[in-house]
């Protein structure tokens, strides 16, 4: 089965980390996020991946020049301009000549969803489209889905007002789709699958949804990106994380953090609940708390960073005190 993975977004909420890198190429415990996604798909029988690309598409092609990600062959469809979630699926499906049941999913969601079960659910109900659902505490930031007992969707509301959601089950961003869905999406238009295509399928009585309570995380913010790394580090995923090798002084304290390959942590420094990419240099007696540092960041002695996001190659001077700062400013 083919899986179309949407990876063309700008990743604005993760700036400046995404200034030079698409968010799906950002590392989760040293491994690009897209590899976590593709390996999960491969475990459920996906034989080919189609990447719907847009922003910095060359980064994917340069990283995987032999046409495979984690051993799975992939093709690409590069949108000439952003076309929304449904428009991107339509463009990619046309590029790939899709003519049978396929998967579509958001490439910035990490999940242990049982995709095999989702496909079986779709076929048993003879659905035109099936959505994976996830229960959350506050559904107001997501597409909220309410269903009948058999899974037929009776309402799909994108980002309802707080307190007015009909359900706490949200659209988890993984779909099983029939080729007929492609025909419902206008060619060359900016179309939202959440706001336009799914409500149309609800009216047609052909949209189903399957609830799941497995691991699920939208990685779109710095806080969630840190959590994704720490979840992998802490063994809360089905896939085992491979921890990069770093040079950490014996007197430094590193807790609930991922330190990237060839990074160096100086004496008496404290790193807490943070993610450092590769080749960072952290001098002595620094403190880095709940922060993300991109590749090749230098932090001078005695500096303190709290809830900061520092972009590639940036320098933090010795003794600087930074809180809730993005550098460079975006």
Q: Is the domain of 101 the same as that of 169?
A: yes
Does residue 42 surpass a pLDDT of 90? yes
Q: Decide which of 183, 210, 233 is a domain's last residue.
A: 233
What residues are paired with 327 via a beta bridge?
310
Q: Is the domain of 228 the same as that of 254?
A: no
Range of the domain at 281: 247-327
Q: What's the average model confidence in pLDDT over 214-218? A: 94
Task: Report pLDDT for 25.
Answer: 96
CATH number of residue 132's parent domain:
3.90.550.10
CA angle 54, 56, 59 (to 5 degrees): 120
| pLDDT classification of 164: cutoffs 50, 70, 90 | low
Helix (H) or strand (E) holding 119: helix 115-124
In-domain check, residue 292: yes
Report the alpha-carbon distance of residue 54 to residue 250 in Å, rounded.
Answer: 44
In-domain check, residue 100: yes
Q: Is the domain of 316 the same as that of 223?
A: no
Task: Report pLDDT for 329.
Answer: 79
**How many domains is the chain built from?**
2
Q: Is the domain of 259 the same as that of 127?
A: no
Q: Is the domain of 69 the same as that of 43?
A: yes
pLDDT per position as a tens digit, 50-74: 999 988 999 999 999 999 999 999 9
In-domain check, residue 205: yes
Q: What is the mean pLDDT of the chain?
A: 93
Q: Is the domain of 148 the same as that of 219?
A: yes
Task: Report pLDDT for 138.
Answer: 76
CATH number of residue 253's parent domain:
2.160.10.10
Contacts for 155-162 with beta carbons within 8 Å, 24 or more apart? Answer: 155/202, 156/194, 156/198, 156/199, 156/202, 156/207, 158/192, 158/194, 158/195, 162/138
In-domain check, residue 242: no
| pLDDT classification of 139: cutoffs 50, 70, 90 | confident
């Amino acid at each position: 089965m083919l899986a179309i993975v949407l990876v063309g977004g700008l990743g604005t909420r993760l700036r400046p980390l995404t200034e030079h890198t698409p968010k799906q190429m950002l590392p989760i415990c040293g491994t690009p996020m897209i590899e976590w996604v593709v390996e999960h798909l491969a475990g459920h029988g996906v034989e080919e991946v189609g990447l719907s690309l847009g922003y910095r598409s060359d980064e994917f092609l340069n990283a995987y020049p032999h046409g495979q990600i984690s051993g799975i062959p992939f093709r690409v469809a590069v949108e000439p301009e952003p076309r929304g979630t449904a428009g991107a699926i339509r463009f990619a499906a046309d590029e790939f000549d899709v003519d049978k049941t396929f998967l579509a999913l958001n490439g910035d969601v990490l999940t242990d969803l049982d995709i095999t079960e989702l496909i079986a659910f779709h076929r048993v109900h003879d659905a035109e489209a099936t959505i994976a659902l996830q229960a959350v505490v506050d559904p107001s930031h997501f597409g909220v889905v309410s269903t009948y007992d058999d899974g037929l969707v009776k309402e799909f509301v994108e980002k309802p007002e707080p307190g007015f959601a009909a359900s706490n089950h949200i659209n988890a961003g993984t779909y099983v789709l029939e080729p007929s869905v492609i025909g419902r999406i206008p060619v060359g238009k900016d179309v939202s699958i959440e706001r336009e295509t799914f409500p149309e399928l609800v009216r047609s009585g052909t949209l189903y949804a399957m609830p799941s309570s497995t691991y699920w995380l939208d990685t779109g913010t710095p806080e969630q990106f840190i959590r994704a790394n720490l979840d992998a580090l802490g063994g809360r995923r089905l896939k085992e994380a491979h921890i990069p090798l770093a040079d950490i002084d014996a007197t430094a304290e590193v807790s609930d953090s991922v330190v990237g390959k060839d990074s160096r942590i100086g004496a008496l420094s404290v790193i807490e609940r943070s993610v450092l990419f590769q080749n960072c240099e952290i001098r002595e007696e620094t403190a880095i708390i709940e922060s993300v540092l991109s590749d090749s960041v230098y932090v001078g002695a005695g500096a303190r960073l709290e809830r900061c996001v520092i972009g590639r190659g940036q320098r933090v001077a010795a003794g600087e005190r930074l809180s809730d700062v993005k550098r460079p400013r975006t």
